Amino acid sequence: MSPAQQSALSWVHEHRAQLSSWHRTIWDYAEPAWREYRSAAWFVARLREAGFSVEAGSGGMPTAFAAQWSNGAGPSVAGYAEYDAVPGNCQAAATTRGPREGLSPYAPGHTDPHSALGVGALAGILATQHAMREGGIGGTLKFFGEPAEKCQGSKLVHGLKGYYDGLDAIISYHPFYMLPLCNTVRWDTHCGAYYSRIYSFICDEPERWGSGSDASPIPASHSAARAPGANVALMSMFGSTKATLESMLAHTGGWSLNEAILTAGQATADNLPAPLAQINYAWRAPDIPMAEAILAVLERNAEHAAAIAHCRLVKRWVSRTRPGVANHVLAHAAYRNLAAVGAPQYDAAAIALAREIQANLGLEPMVAPFLPACEHLIEPLEAERQLRLQMPAWQRNWTSDDYVEMTWYAPTVRLYIARPMLAAPDGHAGYPAWVSNALGGLGPCIDPTVQVAGKTIATTLLELLTDPALLARARAEFEARTGGGKFVAPLLPADFTPPIDYHWPEYATTERGYAWGIPACAELDG
């Protein structure tokens, strides 16, 4: 490695205790999509302390940011942080199941964990900045705060608003364990298309459903028929979509459809038709035509559900992303640096915590409790080969993540560093979800992920900043893959407004204190 790269490695090593503390801060905040107020403010403050100029609330998103630091003329390279957590996954950093103190188990928790994504990426950027200063390396670092990845919300907005224009290279990093994408980079098979849409059913003219009793001056009296209302529309949509699911597409390609019912505030059961009900559908597919086929069925179902229940229908996009574009030049460079850094390794403290979790689950603690793949690298081409075994030959993309939007603006590499996962004893079906969530908050277990990510990102960025020929090859490949008839235009308009005003789950401060939207309730505790 070059002196500059060695300098960056030293910076990460010297700051490992601070990085661990930083990670735990974001992990404990555990704020859900579009509502990551404290997490975003924390990143903005750290970057400003480091000398970056930061635009908070970039792209019209209150919990996004765009940071920049320049050391003179040179390439412009970028990374990003994610920091949203997932509702319903509140788990303490402990070896037994239980929510964080004072919170409901239905509050959010970091499942992937994005806390390690954000702090690992920040470590890489700050280590790169340190080495650039020390070595007099010219260039510009850009670092984006990307909220709502679980809704695939922000990157398409940043792209539409021009924030990725002019970049020479982007590093996209994620903690991961799903084999074979563990301690490697994506090669050809990048993430596919992802669509997310909210259907709102509104019963704002119930009096037009039918006439009331002649004896009553109130059309919606207790003795009159009332309009079915928004809840009926939502349930009709839910039921008809379940009934038509198998008819949306052929049973191939690994596509999926999920739904979430958004609360609308009508918590009182009264003899009135529900005025508002909302359901959010999100679906992933290998390509755009498949995603569009699902959309067509959903649109028909929504229109008919609204008509049945005497409602009008309002539709709103949350996300609509294109399949990702590979870049072998950047993938090769990033993996070369990952190989030099090495995979995460777990020390005695981490092993003791893992064995304690196994014992608390009634299992015999294993001598080597972590999944072996978490401590080993896998060559990109071998990972690609294994991945292709799981899909038909025609399929070009798999699963989803909104980093794919970045791949249409600049050469991009997708880097995976293992997050800690436990090995399953023979005959054991698997671990409950709380175990992986807890491992993401236990410092000795998750710190190696953050440190390896920071080192790999920094050494790769420094290579890109100091090797014009490497950047030129990456750019040439990018233009060959996206130019001419191969280019796919953004699927949403440039004036698209992110749906930050919808009723997404969040923490709130009331006279009862600072609490999650679903409060702790004894009768709901399992």
Distance (Å, rounded) from C-alpha 182 to C-alpha 260?
Answer: 29
Residues of the chain with CATH 3.30.70.360: 194-321
**Helix 443-466 crosses helix 468-482 at what angle (to 10 degrees)?**
100
Distance (Å, rounded) from C-alpha 67 to C-alpha 54?
Answer: 4
How many C-beta neighbours within 10 Å does residue 398 have? 21
| The residue type at 39 | S
Residue entry with tokens 């319903």: 88
Residue 210's pLDDT is 77
Q: What is the per-residue pLDDT across 449-499, written as a single tens digit (0 to 9) for each?
A: 999 999 999 999 999 999 999 999 999 999 999 998 999 999 999 999 999
Residue 226's pLDDT is 83
The token pair that represents 205 in the structure block:
């003219």
3-state secondary structure 268-337: CCCCCCCCEEEEEEEEEECCHHHHHHHHHHHHHHHHHHHHHCCCEEEEEEEEEECCCCCCHHHHHHHHHH
The token pair that represents 259 in the structure block:
């739904």
Residue 217's pLDDT is 57
Residue 515's pLDDT is 81
Residue 524's pLDDT is 66
Query: Three-class SS of residue 251?
Result: coil
Distance (Å, rounded) from C-alpha 464 to C-alpha 5?
Answer: 11
Residue 220's pLDDT is 53
| The residue type at 484 | G
CATH of 194-321, one of 3.40.50.2300, 3.30.70.360, 3.40.47.10, 3.40.50.300: 3.30.70.360
Q: 126: closest CA among 9, 28, 26? A: 9
Q: What is the per-residue pLDDT across 116-174, written as a single tens digit (0 to 9) for each?
A: 999 999 999 999 999 999 999 999 999 999 999 999 999 999 999 999 999 999 999 99
Report the half-sphere exposure of 120 (CA within 13 A, side-chain side): 31
Sign of the C-alpha dihedral, residues 465, 469, 473, 476? positive
Residue 508's pLDDT is 87
Which strands, in side-by-side order, build the sheet including 184-185? 53-56, 65-70, 140-145, 76-81, 169-176, 412-418, 184-185
Q: Are 481 and 326 in contact (CB under 8 A)?
A: yes
Weakly modelled stretches of the chain, pLDDT under 70: 211-223, 264-268, 518-521, 524-526
**Helix 328-341 crosses helix 443-466 at what angle (to 10 degrees)?**
130
Residues of the chain with CATH 3.40.630.10: 3-191+323-486
Distance (Å, rounded) from C-alpha 16 to C-alpha 22?
Answer: 10
End-to-end CA distance of the chain: give it in Å, rounded.
53
CATH of domain 3-191+323-486: 3.40.630.10
Residue 208's pLDDT is 86
Mark residue 474 as left, alpha or beta (left: phi above 0; alpha: psi -120 to 50; beta: remaining).
alpha
